[in-house]
Amino acid sequence: MAKKKAPNENKPKVINPNVMGLRAEVLEQPITETLELNYMPYAMSVIVSRAIPEIDGFKPSHRKLLYTMYQMKLLGGARTKSANVVGQTMKLNPHGDAAIYDTMVRLSRGYGALLHPLVDSKGNFGKVYSRDMAWAASRYTEARLDPICAELFRDIDQDTVDFVDNYDGKLKEPTLLPTTFPNVLVSANQGIAVGMASNLCGFNLGEVCDTTIAFLKDPDHDIMSTLKAPDLPTGGELLYDEAALSEIYRTGRGSFKVRSKWRYNKEENLIEVYEIPYSTTTEAIMDKVTELVKAGKIKEIADMRDETDLSGLKLTIDLKRGTDPDKLMAKLFRSTPLLDSQSCNFNILIAGMPRVMGVREILEEWTAWRMESVRRRVYYSMGKKKEKLHLLKGLRRILLDIDRAIKIIRDTEEDAEVIPNLMIGFGIDQVQAEYVADIRLRNINKEYILKRTQEVDALEEEIANLEDTVNSPKRIRKIIMDELAEVKKKYAVPRRTDIVYDHEAEAAAVEEDETPDYPVHLFFSREGYLKKITPQSLRMASDQKYKEGDGPFLQWEASNRDELLVFTDRQQCYKTRLSDFDDTKASVLGDYLPTKLAMDPEEKAVWACIPGDYSGHVLFFFDNGKAARVELSAYQTQTKRKKLTGAYSDKAPLVSALLLKEDLEMAVISTEGRCVVFHTASLNPKTTRTTQGVNVMTLKPKYRVEKALPLSSTHIVNAARYRARSLPIAGALLREADRGEEQMTLL
């Protein structure tokens, strides 16, 4: 007989612990249900209502603050204490006063985070380029709206945008601000939500207006021809990379480099840095420079100090005698945040959904939204004029017999009957009758009524024109273009961030000049230690010192300017320059590469090579009998990347590697004692680094490849016995005479 289920068997289990005499109930809940019911609503709230900006370029906190200041008559009025604004904003913003004041600080002219500040501030509002400079409390500072905010609120009272209830339902607030220009591209904005983020860089207002006008005229307009590059509030020099900027414009994601502006004072032998990248701070720069000076990597600096004052930012670097300022700044640009990357992630809320968009998509969405906003404004104006026309038509009826209208009103005994009697007497509706009834006694004359009724024809023409505008996208676009031209004329300012086009050749020339070129000998041990020794030092002491259990592995003759590729057991390749290593002696252990190159924990260096001009190939031999021939150019990068993942295949352990400049014969030996000799010309080169290669040796299940090395480096006497006619092949057992005594390892 089946057991009958208890009625509450499927319900969550309730536990009643009795701890220290206190009773409590704990309800068990599946983690998936917790995420769905508790975490997902929170995540969506952060994304939609807090961290991600919308098409007007504002987050809700910005919009609530600015609208509150607009309602407080702070557009064109006198400044008021910031504390007053913060207090009033709390009626719309359900967050604390500190969060609201932080929002105001970021929008302020004093802080300098925006190309066109929206809050005209007075007092200490800190600085965007300083990490440690604190702004004054809200009770000490004053603020009002900047004049450009007139473009944010233009015609907001003419049904251009929707209004919703605030959090307690007692006030109304706009869902968006009817900006007359694409503020979303002009005002820089950052936000971190749950599972996503947004990072909008600013563009020059004049360029944005020109681009939007050109886009409205031709949707296929070349954006980059008018929108040259981002423009940052802190200035600096943008290192122009057409491919990187094109990717940002197309996808909305990417990064570009910005470097500081500086000048050299020859009389005092010092450098003054007066503009820095938007993404860094003066404190971060000084900390890094101090670190490099203490480590002995920069020896040309005598002192560095922050001389920022009311006139603006200034970092002063005192130079030692004989220092070349251009070479020093080139070194600082490579090693400090004086040259920094600015990331872009154009993630914007469109109809409540986050979307990462390129510049063209943003302009499409903004123009579509703005056209609807202007259409609503024109429709609202048309409605008001229609109401006025309706009233004037009623007034024109009265003109036919004013005396009769007066008689109707005078003969009506009850006040409530005046309107119905006028409606019956002149055939007008209630609205018209009320308008007539409310006319003052002194205005009941033919001159006044004639003047008013003469407006009818002009109103009818205006209404017809507005109706045509409402139904004509072309005319609405013309209105938007005219407004954009007006905004550019009134508020556009010259670019703050200069664009540098020839920076690559300039940097390469300086770097090439300052790196000394001289011959060196390299010694790479089995445990991953590298020594760089000059020929003179090597002649003085040629016996190499190694750690206990370590020994020689690879050695080369090279130049101090050469690059070094280091391959690890995690299928990664680290690229470095020999000039980054100090000259040393044979009597020291050398640099431990995992530490020197900041490798991952427990990652080890297994092979290295000098790539030279990146011609030739790399041969990889794996213990499963496969060999891969990869073009060395696959490891050459245009950028200064120091780490490449996926340097070789991870399908089987690596046994040997070899830098191949010209084809030769290789010997592959297995743990069974078999050997295969083949010519490397039979291996086709691949451009894919992670290629698994081809089988060169057929292995029995319990055997693996033990070593692989050039035939000339082996003791094999009778090579014909092991030479393969076709690959793969099992190979022949090594004869005693061909084995030799030498230990063979990675090459």
At 708-745, the pLDDT tens digits run 989 888 888 888 899 988 889 998 998 888 887 544 44
What are the structure tokens assigned to 433, written together? 């009758």
Task: Tell whether 458 and 541 lie within a shared domain.
Answer: no
Query: Would you please indicate which residues are annotated as catalytic (active-site) residues?
Result: 140
Q: What is the pLDDT of residue 509?
A: 56
Q: What is the pLDDT of residue 23?
A: 55
Mean pLDDT value across residues 192-199: 87
Count of domains observed in the chain: 4
Name which of 316-330, 417-431, 443-457, 460-474 the model is least confident about.
443-457
- Checking if the pLDDT of 639 tops 80, the result is no
On whether both 469 and 572 belong to a single domain, the answer is: no
Q: How many residues does the chain have?
A: 747
The per-residue pLDDT for 16 is 52
Asked whether the predicted pLDDT for residue 654 surpasses 70, the reply is: yes
Q: What CA–CA distance (Å, rounded) separates 227 from 182? A: 13
Q: How far apart are CA 172 and CA 266, in angstroms?
A: 61
**For 706, phi and psi rounded to 5 degrees?**
-100, -40
- Structure confidence at residue 2 as a pLDDT band (50, 70, 90): very low
- CB of 339 closer than 8 Å to CB of 260: yes
pLDDT at residue 442 tops 80? no
CA–CA distance, 183 with 153 (Å, rounded to integer):
12
Is 261 in contact with 277 (CB distance < 8 Å)? no
| Token reading at 327 | 């070479």
**Which tokens go with 8?**
């509450």
**Four-point Cα dihedral 168, 174, 176, 181, nearest 10:** -150
- Provide the pLDDT for residue 25: 67
Top pLDDT among 532 and 44 is at 532
Residues 629 and 484 in one domain: no
d(CA 198, CA 184) in angstroms, rounded, equals 12
pLDDT (tens digit, 9 = 90+) per residue, 79-112?
999 999 999 999 998 888 999 999 999 999 999 9
Over residues 320-345, mean pLDDT? 91
> Residue 698 — pLDDT band, cuts 50, 70, 90?
very high
Percentages (nearest 5) of helix, strand, coil residues in the chain: 35, 25, 40
Distances (CA, A) of 73 to 65, 111, 296, 706: 13, 23, 58, 83
Q: How confident is the model at residue 346 (pLDDT cuts 50, 70, 90)?
A: very high
Task: Tell me the per-residue pLDDT of 545-577, one tens digit each, with 9 for 90 and over.
Answer: 888 888 889 998 998 888 999 999 999 999 998
Q: What's the average model confidence in pLDDT over 48-57?
A: 88
Asked whether residue 401 carries a pLDDT value surpassing 90, the answer given is no
DSSP 412: -
**CA gap 519, 88 in Å, rounded:** 72
Q: What is the pLDDT of residue 125?
A: 95
Q: Is residue 503 a part of any domain in this protein?
A: no
In the listed set 160, 177, 194, which residue is the last one of a domain according to the structure? 177
Average pLDDT, the chain: 88
| CATH number where 695 lies | 2.120.10.90
Do 382 and 463 form a contact (C-beta atoms < 8 A)?
yes
455 shares a domain with 423: yes
The predicted pLDDT at position 4 comes to 46
Helices 242-251 and 359-399, packing angle to 10 deg? 50
Nearest CA to 525 out of 204, 745, 302, 233 is that of: 745
Please tell me the predicted confidence (pLDDT) of residue 508.
Answer: 56
Which residue would you say has higher pLDDT here, 237 or 14? 237
Domain end call among 337, 352, 383: 337
**Tens digits of per-residue pLDDT, 461-472?**
999 999 999 999
Cα distances (angstroms) measured from residue 523 to each of 543, 569, 575: 12, 19, 17
- Mean pLDDT, range 238-259, rounded to an integer: 93
The residue among 47 and 20 whose pLDDT is bigger is 47
Q: Exposure string (b/e) for 261-280, b if CB count within 10 Å is 16 or more?
A: bbebeeeeebbbbbbbbbbb
Q: Which tops the pLDDT comparison, 114 or 741?
A: 114
State the DSSP code for 682: G
For β-strands 237-239 and 498-500, DSSP reports them as parallel
Q: Is residue 556 part of a domain?
A: yes
Please spell the DSSP secondary structure of 557-594, one letter per residue. EEETT-EEEEEETTSEEEEEEGGGSPP--TTS--EEHH
Q: Is residue 363 part of a domain?
A: no
> Are residues 658 and 609 both part of a single domain?
yes
The answer on 629 and 726 residing in a single domain is: yes
For residue 114, list its beta bridge partners: none
Burial string for 118-149 (b: 16+ CB within 10 Å, else e) reads bbbbebbbbbbbbeebebeebeebbbbbbebb
Q: Which residue has the higher pLDDT, 454 or 355?
A: 355
Mark whether 484 and 513 lie in a shared domain.
Answer: no
- Do 398 and 296 lie in one domain? The reply is no
Distance CA 364, CA 188 (A): 19
Q: Do 580 and 679 belong to one domain?
A: yes
Torsion of CA 205, 211, 216, 220, to 10 degrees: -160
pLDDT > 90: percent of the chain: 58
pLDDT per residue as tens digits for the range 261-283: 999 999 999 999 999 999 999 99
Give the gyration radius of the chain's Cα atoms.
39
What tokens does 13 get? 């289990």
**How does DSSP classify residue 106?**
H
The answer to whether the beta carbons of residues 79 and 120 sit under 8 Å apart is yes
Question: In angstroms, rounded to a whole number, what is the distance separating the alpha carbons of residues 139 and 34?
Answer: 43
- The Cα diameter of the chain in Å comes to 140
| Preceding peptide of 728 cis, ω within 30° | yes
Same domain flag for 461 and 525:
no
CATH of the domain at 392: 1.10.268.10
**Domain holding 169: CATH number?**
3.90.199.10
- For 214-237, the pLDDT digits (tens) are 999 999 999 999 999 999 999 999
Say if strands 694-695 and 626-631 run parallel, antiparallel, or are unpaired: antiparallel
CB 97 within 8 A of CB 87: yes
In a domain, 250, yes or no: no
Q: Is residue 1's pLDDT more than 50?
A: no
Q: Which range marks the domain in which residue 383 is found?
A: 369-491
29 CB-near residues (< 8 Å, 6+ apart):
12
What count of Cα atoms within 13 Å lies in the side-chain half-sphere of residue 530?
28
| Tens-digit pLDDT profile for residues 602-623 | 999 999 999 988 889 999 999 9
Spatial distance between the Cα atoms of 257 and 229, rounded to a whole number of angstroms: 11
**Do 672 and 572 share a structural domain?**
yes
* 470 and 517, same domain (yes or no): no
Average pLDDT score over residue span 528-540: 87
Least confident of 208-217, 313-322, 545-554: 545-554
Identity of residue 677? V
- Contact (CB, 8 A) for 195 and 354: no
Q: Is residue 325 part of a domain?
A: yes
Domain membership of residue 223 (yes or no) is no
Segment 447-450 long-range contacts (CB within 8 Å, at least 24 positions apart): 449/395, 449/396, 449/398, 449/399, 449/402, 450/399
> What is the arithmetic mean of pLDDT over 19-35?
69
**CATH classification at residue 270:** 3.30.1360.40
Residue 706 domain-assigned? yes
CA 161 to each of CA 45, 153, 186, 189, 384: distance values in angstroms, whole numbers, following the listed order:
22, 10, 21, 22, 17
Is residue 539 one of the residues assigned to a domain? yes
Which of 177, 199, 230 lies at the terminal end of a domain, its last residue? 177
- Return the pLDDT at 543: 81
Distance, in Å, from the CA atom of 210 to the CA atom of 231, rounded to the nearest integer, reads 15
